[in-house]
Amino acid sequence: MKYKIIQDPQYYAIPVSRKAKLLGVNRRSYYKWLQRPPLDSQQVHEEMKLRDELQKIALEFPRYGYRRITVELHNRGYLVNHKKVLRLMREDNLLCVRKHFKPLTTNSNHPHKVYPNLLLYRKITNPDQGWASDITYIQLPDTFVYLAVILDVFTRKCIGWQLGKYLDTQLTLDALNQALRQRWNSSLYGLIHHSDQGVQYASTDYVNQLKAHSIQISMSRKGNPYDNAFVESFIKTLKY
C-alpha cells in the first residue's frame, strides 16, 4: 500500500474507525501504521528492488502463489518472509485467482433407450437387490479425474469403482465389472441396477453387460436428482 501525506484539514476530523475502513484495515493496524518509523532512501530503494523482482517472478511463473514466490525470492538472494510477500502481491494485484471449473458428468442428450425408475416404490430389504451408480470428478492441482462408483443400496457399501482421465463408457464398465467380480458368488437374481440417464449408462455396451447378467435396468427421471440420492449422498462424503 502506498501512503501519502494528506493536506486537507477536514481529513483529520474523520473518526479513526472511518479512516481504517477507508484504508481497508482494522483500527489496530491503522494505529500501528501511524506509529511506523519513516523509511529512509536506502529502505525505499531496497523495497523497490524487491517489488521489481517479485513482479518478474510473477510474470515468469504465473501460477505461483505467495508461498512459492517467497521460496523463489530466497533462491535469488532476497531474505523476506511470506507475510511481506503476500502484502506486496496484494498491493500490486499479483495474487493469482484459481479458477474453479466444474466438468459436466451427465449427458442425457443421446439416442439410446431410457429406462423407467424401478427403485421409486421398491423397498430394499437385503444386499444385492439394488445397486446405484454415478460419476463424479476429483480436482487435482493442475487437472481433474473422473470417478465412477457403484453402491449397494441396502448396505451403502461401495462395491465397484474406477478412476479415469476420460468420461466414457469404459470408465463405467470398469466399475461395473469390479462390482460383478466382488459379487461373483452371490445370487444376483432380481437385482436392479440404477443410474441417471447419462450416455455412459445408456450405451449399448453397458446395457448389454447388464442384460448378460440378467440385471434389471433402472434410471432416474429427467430433472429428478433425488431419484439417485443413494449414491449422491455417498459422493458428498468424499474428501478431495
Q: Of 40, 64, 91, which closes a domain? A: 91
Is 96 within the bounds of a domain?
no
Pick the more confident residue, 40 or 110. Answer: 110
Q: How does residue 100 score in pLDDT terms, banded at 50, 70 and 90?
A: low
Q: Report residue 4's pLDDT band, with 50, 70 and 90 as the boundaries.
A: very low
Residue 111 lies in a domain: no
> Is residue 99's pLDDT more than 70?
no
Q: To the nearest 10°, report the CA torsion of 239, 161, 232, 169.
A: 130
31 and 84 in a single domain? The answer is yes
**Whose CA is closest to 124, among 60, 51, 216?**
216
CA atoms within 13 A on the CB side of 7: 0
Domains of the chain: total: 2
Of 68, 91, 114, which residue constitutes the final position of a domain? 91
Is the pLDDT reported for residue 19 higher than 80?
no
Residue 36 in this model has a pLDDT that exceeds 70: no
In a domain, 122, yes or no: no
In the predicted model, what is the mean pLDDT of residues 93-106? 65
Of 26, 82, 45, 207, which is closest to residue 133 (Cα–Cα)?
207
Q: Does 221 have pLDDT greater than 70?
A: yes
pLDDT tens per residue, range 157-198: 999 999 998 889 999 999 999 999 998 888 888 999 999 999
pLDDT (mean) for 54-76:
87
Task: State the average pLDDT for the chain.
Answer: 82
Are residues 61 and 136 located together in one domain of the fold? no
**Residue 105 covered by a domain:** no
127 falls in which pLDDT band (50, 70, 90)? Answer: very high
Reported as a pLDDT band with limits 50, 70 and 90, residue 33 is low
Mean pLDDT of 18-32: 71
State residue 2's pLDDT score.
46
My answer on whether 134 and 230 are in the same domain is: yes
Q: Are 49 and 69 in contact (CB under 8 A)?
A: no
Tell me whether residue 207 is in a domain: yes
Tell whether 139 and 222 lie within a shared domain. yes
Question: With 60 as the cut, is the pLDDT of residue 66 above it?
Answer: yes
User: Would you state the pLDDT for residue 234?
Assistant: 78
Least confident among 5-14, 35-44, 149-158, 224-233: 5-14
Give yes or no: residues 75 and 141 share one domain.
no
Lowest mean pLDDT of 5-9, 25-29, 128-132, name the range: 5-9
